[in-house]
């Protein structure tokens, strides 16, 4: 109950602040298992994409969030784990564990994911080069749809280091799904995935 209320409140707050208006540019929304990958420029990214999804897709879609940020503090933990149902991952790569393991587990359960293949937040409108994570997920789960998403204006709304946001309308642009082709090289695939996001600008 509290979780539902918090979810409702959070969606309202995000929409009041940055609009988060979805625009499905190339294909209609699809409830099939998907990985939504997008450019990363602010702390509002996860919330904006999550709020822009249709309710029935949002119900099975879990944002991937850094444990060192979202795992700290009771409120942030509550929002991450209960409200957003996030998958928390370690940003520091250690030799003992695979940082992608929680993602494999979530995909294995049939959940959809929201990921930021650049890794960290950038200050500019265009995404920088993608890291390999997206490729490894696509390789292990070739049937999962990979949906490129572009978030505009959020790099202006809440750039790194700012305390208060500036409310600007963010249009969340969803592109058509792509898949890893058989035998496709890691580097080529990552370039192609990044271009799928760039195409939405």
Partner 1 sequence: MLNVLASLHPDQKFYWLIGGVAALLLIASVIGWVLKSRLARNPQAGERSQKVVNNLVARVNAWWVMVAVFAVAFLAGKPGTIILFTFISYFALREFMTLTPTRAGDHRALSLAFFLLIPLHYYLIYTEWYALFTILIPVYAFLLMPCISVLAQDTEYFLERAAKIQWGVMISIYCISHAPALLLLDIPGFTGQNALLLFYFMLIVQLSDVLQYVFGNLFGKTKVAPVVSPNKTVEGLIGGGLSTVLIGAAMWWITPFTPLQSAGMAAVIVTMGFLGGLVMSAVKRSLGAKDWGSMIEGHGGMLDRMDSVSFAAPIFFHLVRYFFTP
How do strand 145-151 and strand 34-38 relate by DSSP bridges? parallel
159 binds partner 1 (CB under 8 A): yes
How do strand 61-66 and strand 112-115 relate by DSSP bridges? parallel
Site string for partner 1, 100-139 (x = CB under 8 A): -----------------------x----------------
Closer to partner 1 by CB, 132 or 165: give it: 165
> Distance between CA atoms of 196 and 201, rounded to whole angstroms?
10
22 binds partner 1 (CB under 8 A): no
Return left, alpha or beta for 34; rule: phi > 0 is left, psi -120 to 50 is alpha, else beta: beta
Residue 30 Cβ vs partner 1, minimum distance, rounded to whole Å: 23
Q: Which of 7, 11, 14, 19 binds partner 1 (CB under 8 A)?
A: 19
Neighbours of 141 (CB within 10 A): 18
The footprint of partner 1 (CB under 8 A) covers: 19, 21, 123, 153, 156, 159, 162-169
């Amino acid at each position: 109950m509290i979780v539902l209320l918090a979810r409702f409140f959070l969606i309202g707050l995000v929409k009041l602040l940055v609009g988060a208006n979805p625009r499905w540019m190339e294909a209609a929304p699809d409830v099939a298992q998907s990985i939504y990958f997008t450019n990363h420029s602010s702390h509002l990214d996860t919330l904006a994409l999550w709020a822009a999804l249709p309710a029935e897709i949002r119900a099975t879609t879990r944002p991937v969030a850094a444990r060192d940020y979202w795992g700290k503090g009771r409120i942030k933990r509550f929002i991450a784990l209960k409200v957003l149902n996030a998958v928390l991952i370690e940003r520091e790569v250690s030799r003992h564990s695979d940082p992608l393991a929680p993602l494999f587990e979530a995909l294995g359960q049939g959940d959809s994911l929201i990921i930021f293949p650049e890794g960290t937040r950038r200050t500019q409108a265009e995404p920088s080069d993608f890291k390999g994570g997206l490729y490894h997920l696509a390789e292990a789960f070739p049937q999962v749809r990979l949906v490129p998403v572009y978030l505009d204006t959020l790099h202006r709304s809440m750039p790194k280091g700012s305390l208060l946001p500036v409310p600007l309308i963010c249009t969340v642009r969803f592109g058509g799904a792509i898949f890893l082709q058989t035998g496709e090289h890691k580097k080529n695939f990552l370039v192609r995935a990044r271009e799928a996001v760039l195409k939405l600008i």
